[in-house]
Structure 1
Amino acid sequence: MALARFKSSGLDVRLTVAASLSPERRRALIAEHAREGLRESQEINRAALGHVPGHDTFVDGRAEAPLTSVNPDRGVIVFRFHLLRQVIKWVDEMLIVHSPVLTERYARSHIWFADDGEMDPLNPPPAERYIVLNGQPYARKVERGQSRQAPDGVYESVAVMAKKRFGQVSYIGFGFRSLPSGAIGEWAQTASAERLAARFRKGDPSKREDWLTRQPAIIIEEGTW
């Protein structure tokens, strides 16, 4: 038996083909099965996004090669959809909509990262992981519901909504990440912040900055968990 596989929308599908068949027949069967999987993934994406996004095709690592050129014994076909740009845009819009607007500083302080580099959410570069967090020192208080304009917090609520809407096509999670720069980084160097860290974070002083600058964050990745 020959083993082939194809990936689509985060799924890894394996297909076993009888080795007694000719290489041409095995390639044709693998390609047919891959097309069926592509159509299924396109319908999943249509249901989640309201339309079918574009995709790239890789056959044994070769971009846009014919599906029937796949290795008949251990071939790999990958369909990579252009999904995350739309997820990022929606999350960014929802963070602004749900932000407290007393001074608008919070709404203007959502910072996006592609892997380790800061990015424009309207033009995200290729990356394995995208993270958004807020640079204001009081973001954790907002997340705890201490703002009358956002009694349910912001980041976790938006993450839940995003996961409900896009969970079939991408991984979306809520957590905390350190941002030792900007307004939160400046605050972490103040005497009041140092006293707060000394009071609640005993032990190694070098770890206090990380604790002081940990902000609510939304994490977005390709695939589903």
Structure 2
Amino acid sequence: MTGRLWRGGMVFGGLMLLWGLASRSGIPHFLLPSPLAVAEALWVNRAYLGWHTLITLSEILSGLALGVTLGVTLALGMILSPRLQRWLMPLVLTSQAIPVFALAPLLVLWLGFGMSAKVAMAVLVIFFPVTSAFFDGLRRVNQEYLDLAHSMNASFGAQLRHVRLMAALPALGSGLRMAAAGGTHWRDHRRMGRLRRGAGLRHAQRQCATANRYLLRRAVYFSTTDPPAVAGGRYPATPADRLVAGIRMT
């Protein structure tokens, strides 16, 4: 354990050193700030960032818990019932063929703006690696172990509990690692709309500010110049009318 921590510390220190050297190589500060500048910004905004980070962490953990529960349940159901497997496996595979962000507007319509839609998106991303890995682990058990349990008159439930589940734990661990690593990729708040809290709030605010500046520039341009003819072939007469027409045309 100590050696692992030491190696992790060495890797982290090396990355920080490379980062600091790169920030002094002439790259503009707004593109690559130094580690000290980032640490200072984190400290100055610690209360704001801490609150929204907790919100994001709660969403991720909720999605992870529900996704793992759903994945384990589906894997157990398919190993217990081959007929259920024939029905569920195509649905599970189809759920991953649809881009998850394409479902974001539907989730917002069904669940509303807030935490529920984000957790649902996390569940859709997380459950598949858990289901796939755990189901393969339950199915690929050494046949000698099953024959030994059968020779001891073990019931199917006992075989599942003492043989299959124990043999499938490494596969479940692999699925959990993949789910935990991919469980944060769904957090694209620009597609979730009306974000009010969470670690992506500032990013969404910058996106909205960029769009607002674009609309403002277009409106000012049309209010100070002669815009193209609007509906009916008439030109707005006053600057105020041209401003309204410019906003509508954007």
Q: Which TM-score applies when normalising by structure 1?
A: 0.28
Which is richer in helix? 2
